Structure 1
Amino acid sequence: MSLESGSGAKCWLSRGALAVAVVVAVVAHMPLPTELLPQPNASLSCQKSQMKALETDGCPVKMSHHQSESNCIAIRVWIKDEDLNQAPTIRIVSARKEILQPVIKYKRTKKKWRMKKGTNEIRVWCHDIAAQHGPRVNNTETLWELVYDCVEAEPRHPVIVSYIAQSQRCSATSLHPDAVPSFNLSLDLASKSINVTLKSDQKVHARWCYKRSAHHCVQGSHSNLITIDPTHLRSTLLKIPYMLPCVCVQVYYIHEDPPRKTVCPLQTTPLLEVEDVWLSSELTVYESSLTLSTECPARYFPISSSLCWRIQQNLCIPVANSTLQTQQQGPDLVYNTSLVDKHPRMCVKFSLQNSHNISCPFLPDMSLWHVSLEATPHALIVRVNSSVQAVFSAQLCVQNEKGCESSGPVRSVQAKEATESQIRVPLDSVAMQACIQVWRTSPALIGQRILCPRYRRERLAVRALAVLILLLLLAFFAIFMHSLVKKGATDWLYIQRPVLLVCSSELSSHISATRALASLLRGDLGTTVHMALCAPSSQGQAGPGTGIADLGPLPWLYGQWEAVQEARGKVLIVWSPDGNRTFGEWRRRTRGGEDEVCDAGGRGKLLEDDEDLELQKSPSAIIQPVLEAALDRLEVALQKCKGGSAAFVYFGGLGHRGNIPKVFRDVPRFCIPRDLGGLIRELKGLTRTKGTFGWHCWPRLVSKWVSTWLVRKLARRLRTQLPPEQR
Structure 2
Amino acid sequence: MGSLGSAYCLPLLFLTLQLLLLLNPSRGQDSCFEEEGGVEVFSKGVFSNFEYNLQESLHFASNSSPSTTDWTLPPEALTISTVSLCEGQPCKPCIRINISVNVTGLPKLKGFMVQGLELNENTFHSFRILKKKNAKTGDLWEVRYDCWTVTPGQYLSVTLTTVPNNDLSISKMYYICDRDAKPDFQYDHIAEEKKIEISVPKGPDVYVRLCYQANICEDLETSGKKLITSSQNASLSYENLLPCLCIEAFYTYPDSKRKKECPFQKHPEPYIEELLQVSVQEIQHHSDTMTVRYASPCPLVPTVTSCRKQDGKCIPEKKAIVKEHGREYYLESADRDHHLCFKFSLLNHSLIKCPDRRDRLWHMDVKIQLTQLLLTISSTVPASFSAAVCHQNQQTGACDPQSLIYNISTQHQVRSQVLQLWLPRPGIGDCIKVWRSDVRFSHQHLICSFDFSHKHLGLLALATSLVVFTLVFIIYTSCRRIWKIFTAPLWRRTILLVYSPDSAEYKTLICGFADFLHSILGCEVILDLWDMNTVSQIGMLPWFYQKRELVSERNGKVMIAWTRRSMSMYKQWKNRQVNSIGWKDSTNLFGAAMSCLEKDFEVQQEHKNLQHYTMVYFEGLCEKKDIPKCFRKISRYRLLQDLYRLVSHLQDTTYMSPPCLIKAVAKYLMKKLISSEKRRGLQHHIELCKNKLGEDVR
Task: Please tell me the TM-score bracket, short chain as reference.
Answer: 0.3 to 0.5
